[in-house]
Amino acid sequence: MQIILAGGIENPILIDQYLQGVEVEVDAICDGEDILMPGIMEHIERAGVHSGDSIAVYPAWNLSGFVAQRIIGATRSIALELHTVGLVNIQYVIFHNEIYVIEANPRASRTIPYISKVTGVPMVDLAVRAMMGEKLSEMGYGTGLYKQSPYYAVKVPAFSFEKLQDVDTHLGPEMKSTGEALGIGSTLEEAMYKGLVAAGYGMRRDGGMFMTVCDADKAEAVDTARRYLSLGLSLYATPGTAQVLVNHGLSAAVVRREMVENMLSLGNIRYILSTSSKGRATDRVSVKIRRMALERAIPVFTSLDTANALANALISGYTQSSIELVDINHMRKERQSLRFIKMRGTGNDYIFFDCFDQPVISPSSLSVQLSDRRKSIGGEGIILIEPSSCADAYMRVFNADGSESQMAGNAIRCVAKYLYESGRVQDTCMTIQTKAGLRKLNLFLRDDIVVSVQVDMGMPIFTPSDIPVLLDGERAVNRVMRLAGEDRMVTCLSMGNPHVIQFVQDVSRVRLPVLGPAIENDRQFPERVNVSFATLLNRNVLKARVWERGIGETWGCGTGACAIAVAAVECGLCDKDTYITVRLIGGELVIRYTKDGHVFMSGDVRKDYMGVIEV
């Protein structure tokens, strides 16, 4: 096997190019005859950044199978050629699918404790046993590449720049980090999010990003800017960088260098991307900008790769309330197989888990992972069907962002369908427990298949403090509120979940992708709110669109349809004790708001498929 030593490359142009390659790191144990590799770690930042200052990910996520196989072979050859007995650490650069060796160290590395915990391989113990004469083949862990852990692990460096005066925060070949944090998760995005939070990153999704990048990075920085724009952040940039962004159709406010300090003092900038590395003298403008940001506790990225990693973690949707709490001393050794059912009611689709005989660990984190429509099953969230001491079953609802809801009108009909058709409940009248209370359901069958379900949704709540909404008075009906920059006549009520409803002339023209998140997260709604806009077609038919908290615009929302119909009655647009049809994107729901104050909802239910997923 040909092994290329990166330090032996004499052409300075080629050296500069290979430093743009992917850096991977391998810790292995050698007994003089064979090796054991717990795994391959890949660095987020390219090879120009010291390994101690790079974010390292296990297992490597970006290597092709044949490159990984060549790394295993090269590691074995180097370890044996060096007559290593014990631990060895080797760092490689992968450039144009060729492997270059940066360094090979016959010793332990700082990553040994991390890789041992994550993989379950006691590397120090095995290395000592090898040094005492035992063979790896006799230790019970095999040789070659060890089986992959069911978790991703991300090691994020921590810095203490605020304690060092006049030191540039730009990352390069010399190591500057003073500590490390570890994030462990079922997905790369979750592990990355946890590692970044542990290392002190604020993980904000508001405000703006200031960009000033060198000419070599400008083209690639456009995609980075798009990521932060997609999160809702505003872009600010120095003239040269701003011009490149504008040329690619992105909106960026120009900030001249003499204005930077004032802009940073305003407190709206959440992140700074500054990649200029030509000259690190303290009087250079780029260095001054990075130091000003440090003094204001604003995260500064000096590598596009780090900025992209943080953006991807934010885009994934994880929050500190939805990540899995992993006990590092009792980690799973294998992936867990879960049986699921995909069902929908009026276009509102969820992933259902029967928890009568299978446990679901960390449902908040699992909901974020599985609701992704590109990378997983896809849905509005997950539903757990659990045993109940006071009803036929207990329904728990987790939205796509991992938050737990009190109630889901379309999902509860699907739960009833599953309970009947699976044989767990052999009655067309059943009671299901929710966080909003007990709900009674009547099932309608065709050829012993549940095709429709009516739910007694209980009584609406109008008291502002119980919805909750920050309004005075006894009822929140037909009230003027300042929302999304306008005074709006709205009705607020709870159907187990908080709702705000505005009636408009043409619901199709509402800019729901803009208004929905703005109103959902308005501070007047302490627990966020479901946002509905509706148009009255006649006294028995309403057309509506719903922005559901934690999900976004939904094809169907059961509690939303109930809230819209109730609001229409309370505002004098419809009549009590009549059948009101609410038309949503995914279909129609029939609502009856009775004179005694109860709300009944009827709608279709469908089972799309059943399956097993490994998590």
For the chain, what is the largest distance between any 2 Cα atoms, rounded to a whole number of angstroms?
Answer: 88
When mean pLDDT is compared across 285-299, 437-451, 488-502, 563-577, the lowest value belongs to 285-299
Q: Residue 13 above 50 pLDDT?
A: no
pLDDT per residue as tens digits for the range 540-551: 999 999 999 999
Bridge pairing between strands 498-503 and 486-494: antiparallel
- Give the Cα separation of 359 and 280 in Å (integer): 55
Instruction: Say what the pLDDT of residue 162 is.
Output: 59
pLDDT per residue as tens digits for the range 261-283: 788 878 888 998 988 765 555 55
**Of 262 and 444, the one with more pLDDT:** 444
Instruction: Say what the pLDDT of residue 455 is.
Output: 98
pLDDT per residue as tens digits for the range 301-351: 888 999 999 999 999 999 999 999 998 888 888 889 999 999 999 999 999
Is residue 219 within 8 A of residue 191, CB to CB? The reply is no
Bridge pairing between strands 56-58 and 40-43: antiparallel
Q: State whether residue 454 is helix, strand or coil.
A: strand
Task: Supply the DSSP symbol for 217.
Answer: G
| Alpha helix positions (H), 407-495 | 409-421
- Give the Cα separation of 493 and 468 in Å (integer): 8
- Amino acid letter for position 371: S
- Give the Cα separation of 585 and 380 in Å (integer): 14
Instruction: Say what the pLDDT of residue 50 is.
Output: 80
- Give the Cα separation of 194 and 179 in Å (integer): 16
Bridge pairing between strands 404-405 and 552-554: unpaired
- Give the Cα separation of 545 and 535 in Å (integer): 9
